[in-house]
Amino acid sequence: MSSLTDKLFEAILMARQRVYAVASATPLEEMNADLPFRLFLKREDLGPIKAYKWRGAYNRMALLTEEEKSRGVITASAGNHAQGVALAASLLGVHAKIFMPRPTPLVKQHAVRRFGGALVEIVLSGDSYDAASAAASEEAEKDGRIFVHPYDDLEVMGGQGTLADEVVMSGQGPFDVALLQIGGGGMAAAAACWLKRQYPGIRIIGVETQGQACMSAAVAAGKPVVLDSVDIFCDGTAVKKAGQQTFALCRELVDEYVTVTNDDVCWAVQRIWEANRIIVETSGAMGVAAALKLGEQLGGRMVLAVLSGANIDFGKLGYITRNSQVDGASRHYLRVRIPEQPGALLSVLKEGFGDSNIVEFQYGKTDAKEAWFTLGVAATPLMLEALKQRLSGKSVQWEDVTGDEDVVFRVIRYDQRLLRHPVFLSLDFYERPGALHDFLQKYVAQRGNICYFNYAHTGERVGRALLGIEFADTDLRAAFLAALPDRGTGFRACRVVQGPVGERLGG
């Protein structure tokens, strides 16, 4: 161990008394999932600010001299560290000026004020953490306040390391592998330092997301480097440049790095909820995302992951649902060519897609002779390859459009001039195999032609679709409407879209 690592170990050792005087240990909970390994979750989402960041902020600020306390502190944060500093300010009676990026949601600003009260001043500056941090550092130099760094500070890391001490004291170990998320690297360095002293055989895996991998980039370059851009989906780890001290520590203590995607994180959030009924923020799910990705490589081992926080923006849950997996399979989007004629879609679905789990339809009529339907399917890589081969074997023309902007943003084009005597339906059907297919087969296939189809699986028991159906003449349209019930087997509601909405859609 290097002298820097020894200093960090000493900082953690000394931090324990200070940190444990404020809050009790957060629990260690096994994930109730069918996995080839045992996965234990360190529940930092149950801490005083629903995240681990308070540990480091409080430990650093508790070491301030009386003269330093009188001057106050400055920091920069987009969320959890700001709340940690605010809590410490309240407990220690220290004024804190906190720089936050301008786009910081009001819910996070309110949380900072709730923890800090009159002792906290929020300054909105810049459009990113890096810009806010630069402004805060400049301000600290001007007025002599202590800058409380979110991660690149031994005393801050010392406080973060107490969560690893609690893991050891839980008696659940020893652990074979620890999957530690990395932003700036403070928590990963501190937890690795303590765990390696207590469990000499443990393997430390640093977890980063695509677009945020500043630490592995630093290790590859031999020094901290600035990323050209940083993805902010996992906002708690959105750091462009690793710290000088955290880089040196992680280079020594982290055995390997794993990169996960945002979709991997979405799946992890879902699995954590399904297994243990816990909602975590996206950064908090990164360790579990890596565990699910590694799978059998961790077979038979005792594995540790840190649920680093639960301060998720509620609006983000919709994105997580849409980009998570369905029944353990990822979403993929195929655009298939179908003749623009009645029954063509059902024929392709039956012959080409078979029992595939279709979770989305995107289609609008733009041509009189051919249709290009976009279908979203939940499939493993092997299932997807088999589907593509089956479509090719049926001479169905297709293309993989997963990730295309018009698909991601659900841009469903159609030409109203091509629609013949259309009817638009709002359909609520039960999310079970065959329900939507049976509706189309019974009521649509023999009477009309689908000219518009908008449906996306949301995870609810009821699926909702907007269907456009066109008819050769007004008599067929009238007969269709006369035979259409407002509810039936497989669907619980069906209504004709009328008025301004129907007119906008071509009705």
Q: So which residues are the catalytic ones?
A: 53, 308
Q: What CA–CA distance (Å, rounded) separates 144 from 89?
A: 17
Q: What CA–CA distance (Å, rounded) separates 208 from 199?
A: 23
Closest CA to 450 of 465, 471, 431: 471
Is the distance from CB of 74 to CB of 140 less than 8 angstroms?
yes
Query: For the stretch 193-231, what's the b/e string if a residue is b when 16 or more beta carbons lie within 10 angstroms of its beta carbon?
Result: bbbbbebeebbbbbbbbebbbbbbbbbeeeebbebeebb
Closest CA to 26 of 176, 160, 206, 208: 160
Q: What CA–CA distance (Å, rounded) separates 230 from 35?
A: 32
Closest CA to 78 of 246, 283, 264: 283
Is the distance from CB of 53 to CB of 187 less than 8 angstroms?
no
Beta bridge partners of 423: 469
Q: What CA–CA distance (Å, rounded) separates 337 from 349?
A: 12
Is the distance from CB of 37 to CB of 60 less than 8 angstroms?
no
Q: What CA–CA distance (Å, rounded) separates 472 from 420?
A: 7
Beta bridge partners of 339: 370
Q: What CA–CA distance (Å, rounded) separates 502 from 507?
A: 5
Closest CA to 191 of 155, 214, 165, 226: 165
SS3 137: helix
The one-letter amino acid at 129: Y
Is the distance from CB of 297 to CB of 33 less than 8 angstroms?
no
**CA-to-CA separations, 333 to 273, 349, 406, in angstroms, rounded:** 26, 14, 11
Question: In Å, how far from its chain's centre is CA 280?
Answer: 9
DSSP state of 235: G
* CA angle (321 as vertex; 313, 331 as ends), nearest 5: 140
H helix count then E strand count, the chain: 20, 18
DSSP per-residue string spanning 256-320: EEEEE-HHHHHHHHHHHHHHH-----TGGGHHHHHHHHHGGGGTT-EEEEEE-B----TTHHHHH
